[in-house]
Structure 1
Amino acid sequence: MSAPLFRLDAKRQESLQCQLREQIAHAILEGHLPTGEALPSSRKLAKELGVARNTVMIAYEQLLDDGYLVARERSGYFVNPDILAGRVTPPADIAPPAASASLHSGTATPWDELLTMRPSRQPTIVKPANWLDYDYPFLYGQIDPNLFPTQHWRECSRDSVSVPAIRRWSADHLSEDDPLLIEQIHQRLLPRRGVWARPEEILITVGAQQALWITAMLILGAGRRFAMENPGYVDMVNIARTFTDDIVAVDVDDQGLVIDQRLADCHLAYVTPSHQSPTGVTLPMQRRRDLLDSASANNYLVIEDDYESETNFVDNPTPALKSLDSDGRVIYVGSLSKTLAPGLRLGYMVAPPAFIAEARALRRLMLRHPATNNQRSVALFLDRGYHDALLRQIRQTYQRRWLLMRDALASHLPELRIRSTFGGSCFWLEAPADTDVALLKRLAEEHSILIENGEVHFLTPAHRPTLRLGFSAIDETRIERGIERLAALLPQARRTS
């Protein structure tokens, strides 16, 4: 082994000994270090790398503890041959898979004949992976890193990996969830929305997305009708299409879902009453009652996706649809992604015990249960009141940004119609009929502005071009300047007759 195998960088977040430990381990696993030769002494390697001898000694000791190295008295450190035991060596005459055999090429393997579905071809929301590099990220569903409660989350994550905690969550829980997390949802989150549920009516899911999938899989199928808001959440449509082709688009107006006869023959309906996705309007109390009456009279179930209920700025928000449900018709879906972090992927569903029992059994077939260490971290975060404090901060921040966005749009883009909303984390805008929103999106991206084309949310052709501007991920000091720059690009995206 020689120093050129390794490259240490003092500017990286990881310590030098951590970098060296990882690089030596990688070299061992890749077969670059022979098992019969001693590794350089800590003094020699430290000199070659230009680091303190202690750095190398710590890395060697860690690798020894982890089983990558063995120590021989008076001979030094050697690669542990056991670390490579059991690895399969492919025959020399077997070539690696050709690129043409990929799922997307379809030239070597007839994937269209073998696969029953191609979800990669469904229309969906796409966001640049490097969105943080843009000056004006008006993206929906992303969080401002400055709002993340790093210290509190670290504390809860650290306590969730204490020895007693590990003993609790590391065992196979089969289909059960963390009891502390269930308790916190039961006692802290749901009452905030006016929902009273027993623990056996709550199931933890891998984000709200899994709750939607489980519900669709249990209720929908060939010949079963699904009613969907139009415009609506595109991935809910994609999920439903996995199980049925009978999807009816129900209009959304300035008060949310229109309750009419189109719902009468369905088996399952999807609604986002707190902040309609994507328009942001709130379903009024009378329509909520009308929807429940329709569900009872016509014998169908309702998914209530309460995805953004926590970001309501009014003092007395409308209670959840589930709080009015006396017949057990509503399957309530909640998420912690919008307040904590999208990458956490932790949500929950609330429904009558008979439904939750089936959902739990189905979830077990998928993945048994969401990772219990993550469940414990979130449970501690809720139990210690950190989530409540975070909600207050988010509401205050989003309210300021909402006002700034409203004023900037009115000042610089008065030709765009804004839905009457107050809350959430985005604005849904209707552009003049001659606007090419796809072109505007491309132009904006070239000027370090990220916006979203609303077309993907429609099941039927939209009457007017639409776009969505989120403000959860952009610093409030950049909002007006970003809207001003977007306004300057709008004339270039107007079609000429």
Structure 2
Amino acid sequence: MSTPGADAHHQWARLFVVPEQPGLPLQGRLRLAIVQPILEGRLPAGAAMPSSRELSRLLGLSRNTATAAYQQLIDEGFLEARARSGVFVARNARPASVGATPQASFGSGGGVAPDWGARVLRSLADAPTLTKPERWREVPFPFVYGTHDPELFPIEGFRECCMRSLARAQLAHWTPDFETDDVPDLIEQIRLHLLPKRGVFALKEEILVTVGAQQAFQLLADALLDERQRLGFEEPGHPHARNTFSLRRPRWVPVAVDGEGVVVDTLAPLDYLFVTPSHQSPTTATLTLTRREWLLRKAELANFVIIEDDYEAENLYEGAPMPALKSLDKSGRVVYVGSLSKSLSPAMRLGYIVAPRALIAELRLLRHAMVRHPSAFLQHAYALFISLGHHESHARRVNFVMQERVQQVARALRTHLPDFAFELPRGGASMWVNTPAWMDGAELAAIAQRHGVLIEPGDVFFQHPPYPCPHFRLRLSSIATERIDDGIAALAKAVDELAAARGARRT
């Protein structure tokens, strides 16, 4: 038979669970363990809390940690101390809006709910795109895009820039509401340090900061596209850009791609053309200088505008970089989209557009209607990151490691899958692989996942994919170099399984 003290101890132990979050100090994790049951209603207003001594003994913490956590929660209004009585949950600790029981939900009261399927006018629910399983980070061999590389993330440099931005003397540079503007320091760093490396020279009025390249596509789609516009798009091409543009329902014009990039000679009449000339997404082909010059000439002759996504342009392994299309543009026909965050972390969400000032002025108003402007704090911190040389040194380090990984993938493919074809990319962080003609990349991806391997099937890159679609892409930013050979060996087992299954069906 349990004693009352033992029952109370068991009750507190179930209620207060200190989360495993290594990045959060112990006192912060303890505060989280106390605040969560208060907000969830499991600790109601007026409920007595265990003493700091009892709490520290229960959770195996020092009493100083428990006392400090209690004091901070008292200061923040979650708890209140009563003389000679102890610590209790404060009367207004839980917001009044948190009144519904966990089981309650909107539309469950028996009324007639709206038919949202009929009301939604622009849906991407059925659009093919790159996806990952929910717990993909636990998969042993993730040849997919989607996380920072802990081996490469410049934590010390980025922390330094964030701390400098938080200095009292710097607050005036990023705390005001910028309305339609951007942080001037970041515009200057883009204009004077990043763009000249691509041969692009722009005025500050010709640059707009975006919430990643994805928002750049959305702004351009909203400003420039509708059902009347003919949009040329690489086939295969960038699925995220395709889906963003598709919301404005342009008239799609597939544009062929070969080993030298976009095929210019066969271009149909267009109003706009979206291209990824530096490292074509997904094939990694680099548009040759001859084709760049002919493409610009053709745009002038046929009166269309080019949207250049300078995809992974900084990730160059060797040789001189090919000049950006924008750097060769003499008539203002190229709208340039760049990213600041791809090699650092996809969560950073910083990009930019370079275009004639008349278009930038319109895009500023559109952006203001959506999000006003990207985080001014992040803009300021990243301006420091560039000015102090961290961006450049990080890019060099990433290029070295990515070249190493590309070479390792090439060796592993030649060893384990010698009948698969590929071209070594000049840069970037991926490899486009061509399988034997009978094989479908999506079917291989499904089997490979059971073997602990994630790949990006080729069909999602095509607007009209063939079947079978004998292609897939290997991304290299989320897998360590030493894991690559084992990952390709596991992929080879998936290939054997698929081959056996196809053989069984054929018989």
Normalised TM-score (structure 1): 0.91
Greater mean alpha carbon deviation, residues 436-445 or residues 207-216: 436-445
Match of 1:190 in 2: 195
Give the 3 Å change call, closer, same or farther, for CA 54–437 of structure 1 in structure 2: same
Residue pair 1:304, 1:321 contacting (<8 A) in 2 also: yes
- Cα-to-partner distance string for 1:300-321 (whole Å, 9 max, x where unaligned): 2111001210111122111111
- 2:84 aligned with 1:80: no
1:7 aligns with: 16
User: Aligned partners of 1:443 and 1:190: how far apart in 2?
Assistant: 43
Query: Retained in 1: the 8 A contact 2:18–2:33?
Result: no
Instruction: Flag the 1:476–1:115 CA change in 2: closer, same or farther, 3 A.
Output: same
Task: Report what 1:148 is aligned to.
Answer: 153
Give the counterpart of 1:330 among 334, 338, 341.
334
Instruction: Work out whether 1:258 is the aligned partner of 2:268.
Output: no
**Structure 1 position 216, deviation (Å):** 1.4
Q: 1:130 aligns with which of 107, 132, 135?
A: 135
Of residues 61-70 and 304-313 in structure 1, the stretch that sits farther from structure 2 once superposed is 61-70
Deviations 1:330-389 (A, max 9, x none): 111111232110111111111111111011110000000011111122112111111111
In the alignment, structure 1 segments of 5+ residues that lack a partner are 102-106
Alignment partner, residue 413 of structure 1: 417
Match of 2:249 in 1: 244
Question: More displaced, 334-343 or 350-359?
Answer: 334-343
Tell me the amino acid that sits aligned with residue 241 of structure 1: S
Deviation per residue, 1:232-277 (Å, 9 max, x gap): 011222122211241010100111111135343x211100000000
Q: Quote the residue 1:176 is aligned against.
A: 181
- Match for residue 26 of structure 1 among 29, 36, 39: 36
Match of 2:397 in 1: 393
**Separation of aligned partners in 2, 1:400 and 1:304:** 28
1:30 is matched by which residue type in structure 2? Answer: E
The match for 2:345 is 341
Deviations 1:183-239 (A, max 9, x none): 111111111111111111111101000001111111111211111000001122212
In the superposition, relative to structure 1, how do residues 259 and 8 fare at CA in structure 2: closer, same or farther (>3 Å)? same
- 1:58 corresponds in structure 2 to 68
Structure 2 CA distance for aligned equivalents of residues 216 and 477 of structure 1: 41
Partner of 2:231: 226
Structure 2: tracts of 5 or more residues without a match:
1-7
* AA at the equivalent of 2:65: T
Offset from partner CA, 1:112-163 (integer Å, 9 cap, x none): 3211122122111102343332222222454422111112222222222223
Q: 1:111 aligns with which of 88, 110, 116?
A: 116
1:104 paired residue number: none
Match of 1:276 in 2: 280
Question: Does structure 2 retain, via aligned residues, the 8 Å contact 1:307–1:338?
Answer: no
2:455 is the alignment partner of 1:451: yes
For the pair 1:290 / 2:300, whether they are aligned, the reply is: no
C-alpha distance in structure 1 between counterparts of 2:44 and 2:478, whole Å: 49
Q: CA deviation at 1:472?
A: 2.3
Distance 1:328 1:225 in 2: 19
Letter in 2 for 1:335: S
CA distance in 1, matches of 2:199, 2:147: 27
Deviation at 1:403, TM superposition (A): 1.7
Contact 2:143 2:478 (8 Å CA) reproduced: yes
How many residues end up aligned between the 2 structures?
Answer: 489
Residue identity in the other structure for 1:96: S
CA contact (8 A) 1:175 1:369 kept: yes
Identical aligned residues as a percent: 42
One-letter code of the match for 2:416? H
CA distance in 2, matches of 1:415, 1:10: 48
- What amino acid does structure 1 have at the position aligned with 2:221? A
| Residue 74 (structure 1) shift | 4.6
Following the alignment from structure 1 to structure 2, what is the Cα–Cα distance between the partners of residues 233 and 11?
38
Distance across 2 between alignment mates of 1:18 and 1:340: 27
Deviation at 1:84?
A: 4.3
Per the alignment, residue 4 of structure 2 pairs with none
Q: Distance in 1 between matches of 2:233 and 2:35?
A: 52
The residue type equivalent to 1:472 in the other structure is S
Aligned mates of 1:114, 1:175 — CA distance in 2: 32
> Pairwise CA RMSD of aligned residues?
2.6
* Aligned mates of 1:209, 1:180 — CA distance in 2: 23
Q: Verify the 8 A CA contact 1:140 1:425 in the aligned structure 2.
A: no
**462, 469, 477: which is aligned to 1:472?**
477
Is this contact kept in 1: 2:39–2:98, CA < 8 A? Answer: no
Determine the C-alpha separation between the residues in 1 that align with 2:17 and 2:328: 61
Is the CA contact 2:145–2:475 (under 8 Å) kept in the aligned structure 1?
Answer: yes
- Name the CA shift for 1:355/1:443 in 2 (closer, same or farther; >3 Å): same
Q: Residue 151 of structure 2 aligns to a residue in which SS?
A: helix
Three-state SS of the structure 1 residue aligned to 2:401 is helix
